[in-house]
Each structure stands twice: as structure tokens, then as C-alpha cells.
Homo-oligomer: A and B are copies of this chain.
């Protein structure tokens, strides 16, 4: 029996989950129809009309909706942005699952289904921060990892834009964004550093560690803008093979991210519980870098978006779901 449809609808793709009454995922689908990549009809304007969102939703989940009439639907991610299906106002910090579940934005489809969109989160002030989708992953981490509720937790979500979220008493307290992944991709694809890089046959962890070490060393004080140039000069002086330069550069950038985190967000002598959420390769890299930075080994969490969607749907009391959910993730 289908009890909930959950949508993880980001910029570049859409994942749809069908949950059973026990909160377990019974079926899932992955479509390339991100908010910026919706299939369009001839003459339809690009950039996501409501009709295009509705069509992508029907094409992904229409059979579920037909088989389980009245099944509730919850969605997170860029689908709630100004470029999304309906703009979902940001929730303010601090917030946990209950606060988020009280701030869902509704879209009614032609079929009569209501799609509930999870709010993103914002930190206002001189250095504003925003997220859309990661708040649901964090709620999922708290659900999936059974962390002691009084622990300070620091959750890293490495990716194109890495987020680091500080959690206390099961509430998101604050977070920071590092454009590490995007800068790495740009430097490899378009900068002078990419020109001397050659693809290796496997990840070069020694080169990666070397880059991390530079960032954490006294020479790291010269900053990212200077340190990245060494990926070229070490090549020119014969000290870094062309096949090692991309991994070295990745290490320099991730090392600087962790150095900044350690400098600004960690109290000396008091380490929070660290959790990583991301692809296997990225989590492996970040775990190596965390170790080099003298931090505790991180827990690795998987499948957290679906856990978070279930948790938020239950807390919101969507039709047919118990509140609070007792399903154990």
C-alpha cells in the first residue's frame, strides 16, 4: 500500500519515492527532469511553467497517484525556489523537523492532488546563507543516525556547493556554504591549471593528501588564491605528475574548506559528532581530509533525503500518516 509520495526535486534531477505505511521506500524513480531541465512542449517558454512541472510530476508518479487515490505528496529542493513550481518561503534558524513541518507550501494539481513543498532555510544578516533540500537531508540524518539528542552535531554535505550544518537539540542552528566543488570543476575545465592535467587511472590519494597538507600548513596561510597555483608550479618543476594534479588541486581546495571550518566553527578541545552525506568518492575524500585536520572520523549517512521527507510528512500530519511517526529508520 502506498502511504506517501516523496519528491527530491533539485536543479538537475528529480527523484521520486513511494513509501509504504511503515515508512519504508517501496519503489523509487530517477528522472533527469531537474528544475532547470524540464521537458518542454513546442512553443512552451523555458524556465519552468506550472504546466511543465505538473507534466513532469504526472509522468513520474501518475501511476502511483492512480493506484493510491488521495496519497499525500511532499517535495523538497529547488522545486520550492523562485524558479521552481511554487516559491516556498524560507524558514528561519533555528528550526527542527516540527518547525519545518508547520511551514509547508501547497500546490494543487489539475488532478486534485496537493503537493506539499518543504521550506528552504535562510540565515539573514551581513553574510546571508540559503539552502533548499539540505534541510530535509539534515532532518533525515537525525532520523537515520539515532544520535544522542544532546550532542552537538556538525553535518557536512559535500558537493558542488558544500554545506556544513550545525545541529543542537535536534534543531538546525546555523550553516555555511563553500563553493568548493564548483570552483574545482571550473579550474579543471577552464583555467590554466586544467591545461596541464591528465586523467589518471585511479584516484591519487597521495596527491590529494599532499594538497590537503599544504592547505593546513603555514603556507596555507597564503590562502586558496595563491595555493592553487602550486598545482601548476609543482608540475613545471617536475614534482607533480600531470595525472596527479587534479587530485592535488582537489586536496588544496577541500583542505582550505576544512581549515576554515576548524578555525571558525569548531571549539578547541570539544569536537562535535561529525556526519557526512554525499557520494561515496566525495565522502572518502572528506574523511581523508578530516583525518589530516585532526578531527574525529565522521559517520557516513545514506538515504537521508527519503528519511527526512517521511519524517516531515509525519510531523505535518499529512492524511493517513501517524504523528509522530514511530517507524524506525
Enumerate chain A interface residues (CB-CB to B < 8 A).
Answer: 122, 124, 126-130, 161, 176-180, 182-183, 186-187, 189-192, 214, 219, 221-230, 233-234, 236-237, 239, 253, 256-257, 259-260, 263-264
Contact = CB atoms under 8 A, between A and B. Distances in A.
B129 A233 contact: yes
A229 B161 contact: yes
A272 B205 CA distance: 41
B128 A221 contact: no
A176 B219 contact: no
A189 B191 CA distance: 12
B239 A128 contact: yes
Nearest to A257: B225
Given A182-B192, A192-B182, A229-B161, A257 B127 contact: no
A164 B256 CA distance: 22
B130 A233 contact: yes
Given A177-B229, A186-B186, A257 B223 contact: yes
Contacts of A130: 233, 236
Contact of A253 (B191, B225, B239): B225
Nearest to A229: B177
A183 B237 contact: no
A323 B179 CA distance: 54
Total copies of this chain within the assembly: 2
Nearest to A239: B128
B190 A190 contact: yes
Contacts of A222: 127, 176, 260, 264
- Closest 7 A-B residue pairs measured CB to CB? A223-B260, A128-B233, A178-B225, A186-B186, A177-B229, A128-B237, A224-B224
A221 B191 contact: no
A179 B124 contact: no
B230 A260 contact: no
A124 B259 contact: no
A259 B223 contact: yes
Nearest to A238: B128
B236 A128 contact: yes
Contact of A226 (B176, B189, B227): B176
A124 B237 contact: yes
24 contacts: A124-B237, A126-B214, A126-B219, A128-B230, A128-B233, A128-B234, A128-B236, A128-B237, A176-B222, A179-B191, A179-B229, A183-B183, A183-B191, A186-B190, A186-B191, A222-B260, A222-B264, A223-B256, A223-B257, A223-B260, A225-B253, A225-B256, A225-B257, A226-B257
Contacts of A237: 122, 124, 128
B221 A264 contact: yes
Nearest to A253: B225
Nearest to A230: B127
Contacts of A228: 179
A47 B127 CA distance: 46
A260 to B, nearest CB: 4
Contacts of A230: 127-128
Given A129-B233, A223-B224, 20 more contacts: A122-B237, A124-B237, A128-B234, A128-B236, A176-B222, A176-B226, A177-B229, A177-B233, A179-B191, A179-B229, A183-B187, A183-B225, A186-B190, A186-B191, A221-B264, A223-B259, A223-B260, A224-B224, A225-B257, A226-B257
